[in-house]
Structure formats: C-alpha cells, structure tokens
Amino acid sequence: MRVGIYYGGRGLIDDPTLFVLERVENVLDELHVNVERYNLYEERNAISVLPKTLKELDGVILAVSVEWLGIGWLIQQFLDSCWLYGDKDKISKIQMMSIVLSSTYGEQEAQLNLIQAWEMLGGIPGVNICAYVDNHVEFETNSKYNYMIEKNAEQFYQGMAKKAVAFPSSIHEVKKNVLRSRSLNLTPQESEQLSTYVSDDKYVKKQKEDIEELANLFKGMLGGEENAEKYVEDLKTHFHPVDDLKASFLIEVSDEDVSLVIDIDGDQLNCYYGVMKDADVTARTTASILESITTGKRTFQSAFMSGEITVQGNFKVLRNFDTLFRF
C-alpha cells in the first residue's frame, strides 16, 4: 500500500502541521505502508509534474498550515495541476486525508476547500484532522491530541484497505454539467507530457517568444498591410514633384510592424509596402504620428523636431518631404 503526502506549508520548525505529519507517518510505517512526502516549498518549480506521482497511490494526504487565510498558493497550485494534468480515472480511486492546522482563524474553511477540491477531481474524501493551535508545544505534548492523531491515521489506513467509497455527492453532478474542463481532450499520457513541458521554464519562454513572433508576423500581413495601403494612397494623392529631384524614404511604423517605401525620381513616385536598402532617409515613428501627418494636422519636420520621429540619413533630403507632400 502506498501513500503520498503533499505538504503545502513553509517548513517552519514550529509548524504544528509537521508534528502531525510525523505522527501519522509513524503510524503508517508501523502498518507497513510505503509513505513518500513531497514538500511543495522544495518542489515549487516542478509542481506541475507532481500529478504523475499519484499513479501508484492508494491514499493521499493533503497537509496545510493556515497562517492568515486560506490553503496557500503551493497546495492550490498542486490541485490546479491535478485538475489540468492528472489522471482523473486514477484519482477517482484514491482516498484523501486532509490535515489542516491554524495559528489564526480559518482552519475549517481551509479544510472544506481541500475536501471540495478533491471531490471535484473525483477523488474519495476520507478522514480529516483540523485544529487551531495557539501554543505548539502544549499541543504536541498533549497525550489526548496524540491519541486522536494516531486513531485518525488508523482510520485512514482502514479506509484504504477496505477500498471505502463515498456517498453520492451533488458536487459530481455540478462537475459533470457545469465544471467541465475547457482543456483539450488529451489522454492521461498526453496530459502528463504536457505537464512536463509546462514545468520547463526554458520551453515555456521559447513558446511565448514563438507565439509573439507569429502574432507580429500575421499583424504585419493583415492589419499592417491594410493600413500601409491607406498611407500609400494618401501619399500619392498629395504628391507635388520637384524637378530633377531624386530621393528615397523608408518609414518604419513601429507599432504596426510595417514599413513604407517612398521612391521619387523627378515626377515619378513609387510608393509601396516593403523594404529598401540604402534609402536616403530612414525614419521611425508610430501609426498615430504618421496619421497626423497624412491628415494635415502637423508637418513631417515638426514631428521630427519634437522627437516623435527618429531619422537617419541625408537631412538635406529630409527637409524636402513637406515640399514633396502637401497635406
């Protein structure tokens, strides 16, 4: 028989939850139960893969310390991972014992949260230890409390040995009809593999970078190109050629990830969406600033002087922009 202990406290020396866990472990050891403890504060970078440790278990002990409010983020993250990546068929056969001790108010609410969470996962709620501890020394040296802890551990063992079941609960119907997971329909093996990827910070970071790159690519291909065409028409409409003037501009619109190329040869204007190497003037601005210029609200030169457009290249050619395009 195998039991997994998942401790969601901070591992403080005076944490009474650790004392209770040790007493429970001693009883289970005497009953020849294989017990393995996972201190979540030590496993915080691998919590998402811990649901796979439930595979061979007959029982689970969820232990938390209420220091001010609630069950704490470590055990909550573990339960979230069980919901997302755990094998629900396996969980449905596992007995759960909750151990909740509090040095403040709220131990009963925290215990109820653990029971409800395990029932939502489909597991079997079992024996519970719940107490308020004002003085951990007095609590640990109280023989009656020690006796109660040992008896609860024995009842937990008996429930596992007899394959105890729970009475039907309305929460199962709520789960079936309301709390249906919106996740992909994955096999337990695929869910386990996904949890491994999620726990890999480098993999997650790389995925985020790839998604951002694709988003920018499609933004440029769709919305960016549409806006660029609008700018092209505005520039063509308001073009006033200067005899024998050759000039080229590359305007990068940073927030739309597009670039406008303006190539002028006398009275010939070639304006398009793309890239030009060695343009006479390379400018960088935002869509709102470019919009204000093409609608005549301001000049290209004034935007440059105010720092809203950054420019590299031939500044003599730059000064001709407002002459060439009169909005």
- Burial (Cβ within 10 Å: 0-12, 13-18, ≥19) of residue 188: middle
Take residue 175 and report the two structure tokens written for it: 């789960």
pLDDT value of residue 169 = 81
Q: What is the pLDDT of residues 113-127, one digit of tens each?
A: 999 999 999 999 999
**What is residue 62's predicted lDDT score, i.e. its pLDDT?**
98
Q: What is the pLDDT of residues 154-172, one digit of tens each?
A: 999 999 999 888 888 887 7
Q: 318 is written with which tokens?
A: 């730059």
Question: Whats the size of the chain, residue-wise?
Answer: 327
Class of domain 220-324: alpha beta
- Greatest alpha-carbon span in the chain: 104
Which whole number is the average pLDDT over 290-316? 88
Query: Quick check: 213 pLDDT over 90?
Result: no
Q: Which two tokens stand for residue 178?
A: 């309301």
Do 2-199 and 220-324 fold alike per CATH? no
Across the range 276-280, mean pLDDT stands at 86
Kind of pairing between the strands at 281-285 and 246-253: parallel
pLDDT tens digits along 187-203: 766 666 667 666 666 66
Report domain 2-199's class. Answer: alpha beta
77, 48, 49, 52: which is closest to 62 by C-alpha?
A: 77
**Cβ(7)–Cβ(39) below 8 Å:** yes
Q: What is the DSSP string of 271-288?
A: EEES--TT-SEEEEE-HH
Domain ranges of the chain: 2-199, 220-324
To the question of pTM greater than 0.75 for the whole model, the response is: no
Asked whether the predicted pLDDT for residue 107 surpasses 50, the reply is yes
Mean pLDDT of 12-30: 95
CA 302 to chain CA mean position, Å:
44
Average pLDDT on 45-69 reads 93
Cα–Cα distance, 238 to 325 (Å, whole number)? 5
Backbone angles phi, psi at 43, to 5 degrees: -105, 20
Q: What is the DSSP letter of 307?
A: T
Q: What is the predicted pLDDT for the residue at 295?
A: 87
What mean pLDDT comes out for the span 261-284? 88
Q: What is the mean pLDDT of residues 258-287?
A: 88
Residue-level pLDDT at 217? 58
Residue 204: its pLDDT value, please?
A: 64
Q: Where are the alpha helices (DSSP H) in the chain?
A: 16-30, 73-85, 88-91, 107-120, 136-140, 143-161, 170-177, 188-199, 201-219, 225-237, 287-294, 300-305, 315-318, 321-324
Tell me the C-alpha distance between 301 and 320, whole Å.
Answer: 9
Stretch 296-300: mean pLDDT? 89
Tell me if residue 66 falls in helix, strand or coil.
strand
pLDDT at 313 over 50: yes
